[in-house]
Structure 1
Amino acid sequence: MRKSVRILLLLYLTTCVVSLIISWKLYSLHLVLRVYPLVTTILFIVSCVFLFLVFLRHYMNRSRVSHFQKLHFQIEEAKIKRISQPCLKFTRKELLEATGNFSDRKIIGKGQFGTVYRGILAKGQTVAIKRMEFSEDREYCLKHFLSELQILEGLRHRNLMRILGYFFDGQEMIIVSKFMANFSLDVLLHGPLDCRLDWKQRLNIAVGVAHGLAYLHHECMNTIVHCDLKPGNILVDEHLEAHIADFGVARIMTNNEKEHIK
């Protein structure tokens, strides 16, 4: 658009210069009163036609891009619905009310792919709401979102995070999950002194993580490798039970990959 404006400005300046030259020539020939109005009108019409064509092209390009984005969004949404059929689809209004318009006071954590808020649904249930916005690499963000939905929707284990629902509108992706009262293992290990764990509690959490990994590696229909297991991705509930979370970069291994490892 900026390039078109520059071209239009250049054309206008050229028209002015040409008009002045012609008027001077006509004045010297004593024809200015008869010919100059006609020349000026023609140049004005040419400028208007050019301006119309520039804006018409810009409008058609925007319409084409808008149509492509809408089609792309419909394909993405269909894929998400197919992956997460049992999950509840939340509305934006519900999530805004639950988090106080995504208030900074509701933030309980931040990560590479988004911000996690503490929310209270209309029924009074406390949940964790992970809000992910599209960055420059849209495809990578969407892949992360789909991977987490696809994997966690089909898993049922007490040491794995449980997804309650999702929201997707083409601009941001939100996953709603069970709220963990003690946040993450990282917070418990490196938080205030009164949050420090004794050795028995640490052992119980480690055993819970081991149970979760054993389920992912050996008890699932398809072997799943987390690929990003760390204290920040181990959530801890009010009973100090560990829950493995954040499956955005997890991999579902094929039979050929499993045979290669063996």
Structure 2
Amino acid sequence: MKSPNTQFSGGGRRSSSGAVSMSSSSVGSRTSDRLPHSPSTSTYSSTTTTISQKSNSGRNPVIIAVKSVVEAFASCFTPPEPKSSSTNFGDSDSFKAPSVASDGGRKKRHSSSSSRGRSIYGSENNSTHTKEAGSIKFNMEDIYKATKNFSPSLKIGQGGFGIVYKGCLTDGTVVAIKRAKKNIHDKHSGAEFRSEVRTLEKIEHLNLVKFYGFLEHGEEKILVVEYVSNGTLREHLDSVDGNVLDFASRLDIGIDVGHAITYLHMYTDHPIIHRDIKSSNILLTENLRAKVADFGFARLAADTESGATHVSTQVKGTAGYLDPEYLSTYQLTEKSDVYSFGVLLVELVTGRRPIEPKKEIKERITARWAMKKFTSGDAILTLDPRLERSAANSLAMEKIYELALQCLAPHRQNRPTMRKCAEILWSIRKNYRELAG
């Protein structure tokens, strides 16, 4: 019997290693997999974004040994002061109407801005908001009916932002309903809600959770998204249902996630950085298709047309997946998602969580341990012991690790784009299928 599904970050019962969202008003409300606040770490209180111009730093060669996230934590937790006027992502008017990928993210077509150009926050209570004409309509009464007044029996996940329920709307559509915590003093959760709404309003892709709408009614903040029935990738890697996710399925999932992130980076009107790519944010359908969820940390990328190369912003993400360069410089780019994707690739091969506190010290940071074994010629020792040691699996593992090593390069200029990652994975899968027969 499968365990209850986890629909959002923080993932309910099972969670990956701690996430970072350091704000004096928010740390206590983050999910169980978020890092606790301590005096030794900085307080990230800024919610603004500044665009920084191109730096003069030179290119550095790929360093084989991946830096320890733990080491970076000790020295890099003092955010810089903003140097220029800033733009609040949650209130930005520059988040334009979206493009929709109709063929897996390879083409782009622009939707009418007139259909989505309205303000999505200046609304009255008990109002209904939907993604576009023809979307599902609902009001607060419908939400109460769908969740049986937010019955605990329909709870499928819980995080610092709130609780997620499975519900059935009046037209029969089964959905996931995310109910924000009622905490008027927690400005951070409100910013996450606005960020997630703004992102979900602008995107549509086969490998992203579908957005049906949102609703604000008094203190209630509700997000309604696609219900994905088969749990999270992390649950499957943990074999929560007793079944082992085979290597071919893991490779397919990696490709699905690669497509989703490529779409966010390249095929929206303005590139979007997810900032929290991790296995507990990847939902699986019954046929093991992957859908990336939880856009509470998502940010617009830098406006490269104006010459900007990065966004300077507070550090958010999940420990073990965090880009060490972003962690130390507060400079966010699409390559931060690439780094997280590299960690995810290692997770798919090893089956381990990014941080394994019960392992001996040299194995606790999974990506660092796996890359060291790979570069010393002992990659096979890192393969999930539940997987077959076949020629096809071994060769694909080596190729995946070659890609992961590039994604995990300490400096962003040495990492590939997500589009390149997806292309490489396609090639790996083609060769894998030929060899596996």
- Counterpart of 2:289? 241
Alignment of 1:84-99 (within 5 A): 86=132, 88=136, 90-99=138-147
The structure-2 alpha-carbon separation of the partners of 1:233 and 1:137, relative to structure 1 and needing over 3 Å to count, comes to farther
| CA displacement at 1:84 relative to structure 2 | 5.8
Q: Say whether residues 1:159 and 2:204 are aligned partners.
A: no
Higher relative contact order (CA 8 A, sep 6+): 2
Amino acid at match of 1:152: L
Give the match's secondary structure for 1:243. strand
Alignment of 1:1-262 (within 5 A): 76-78=121-123, 86=132, 88=136, 90-135=138-183, 137-256=185-304, 259-261=308-310
Question: CA, structure 1 residues 215+85, in 2 after alignment: closer, same or farther (shift >3 Å)?
Answer: closer
Q: Kindly tell me: are residues 248 and 258 of structure 1, through their superposed partners in 2, closer, same or farther at Cα, counting changes over 3 Å?
A: farther
Structure 2 residue matching 1:122: 3-state secondary structure: coil
Displacement of 1:131: 0.9
Distance 1:128 1:172 in 2: 16
User: In the alignment, which residue of structure 1 is the partner of 2:102?
Assistant: none
Letter in 2 for 1:260: T
- Partners of 1:110 and 1:204 lie apart in 2 by 28
Deviation at 1:89, TM superposition (A): 5.3
Separation of aligned partners in 1, 2:217 and 2:272: 28
Distance 1:126 1:132, change over 3 A: same
Counterpart residue number, 2:38: none
Normalized per residue, the structure richer in helix is: 1
Q: Is the 8 A contact 1:159 1:212 kept in 2?
A: yes
Structure 2 regions of 5+ residues with no counterpart? 1-119, 311-412, 414-437
Q: Secondary structure at the match of 1:142?
A: helix
Task: Tell me the amino acid that sits aligned with residue 146 of structure 2.
Answer: A
Q: Secondary structure at the match of 2:167?
A: strand
Q: Deviations over 1:155-184 (max 9, x none)?
A: 111111111122211312111111101121
Specify whether residues 129 and 193 from structure 1 end up closer, same or farther in structure 2 by C-alpha distance, changes over 3 A only: closer
| Contact kept in structure 1, 2:184 and 2:219, CA below 8 Å | no
Distance 2:158 2:150 in 1: 13
Q: Is the 8 A contact 1:134 1:141 kept in 2?
A: no
Residue type at the aligned position of 2:309 = H
Is the partner of 2:309 in helix, strand or coil?
A: helix
Distance 1:137 1:217, change over 3 A: farther
Aligned in 2, Cα 1:258/1:233: closer, same or farther, shift over 3 Å? farther
> Structure 1 residues 245 and 85, CA, compared in 2 at 3 Å: closer, same or farther?
closer
Amino acid at match of 1:192: V
1:96-146 deviation line (CA, Å, top 9, x unaligned)? 111111111111111121111111122222111111123354322221111
Q: Give TM-score scaled by structure 1 length.
A: 0.64
Identity of aligned residues (%): 35
Runs of 4+ in 1 over 4 A off after TM superposition: none
**Structure 1 residues 244, 85: CA separation in 2 closer, same or farther (over 3 Å shift)?**
closer
Measure the CA separation in 2 of the matches of 1:79 and 1:144.
20
Residue type at the aligned position of 1:205: I
Quick one: distance in 2 between partners of 1:163 and 1:146?
Answer: 14
Deviates more, 1:83-92 or 1:105-114: 83-92
C-alpha distance in structure 2 between counterparts of 1:211 and 1:234, whole Å: 13
Distance 1:175 1:258 in 2: 35
CA contact (8 A) 2:131 2:212 kept: no
- Whole-angstrom CA distance in 2 between matches of 1:258 and 1:186: 39
Deviation at 1:79, TM superposition (A): 9.9
SS at match of 1:128: strand
- TM-score between both structures, scaled by the size of structure 2: 0.40
Tell me, in whole angstroms, the C-alpha distance in 1 between the residues paired with 2:222 and 2:287.
26
**CA distance, structure 2, for counterparts of residue 121 and residue 84 of structure 1:** 14
CA contact (8 A) 2:131 2:211 kept: no
Q: Which structure: larger Rg? A: 1
| Contact 1:147–1:250 (Cα < 8 Å) also in 2 | yes
Question: RMSD in angstroms over aligned alpha carbons?
Answer: 2.8
Structure 1 residues 201-235: Cα deviation after superposition (integer angstroms, max 9, x where no partner): 11111110001011111222211111111111111
Q: Which amino acid aligns with 2:123?
A: A
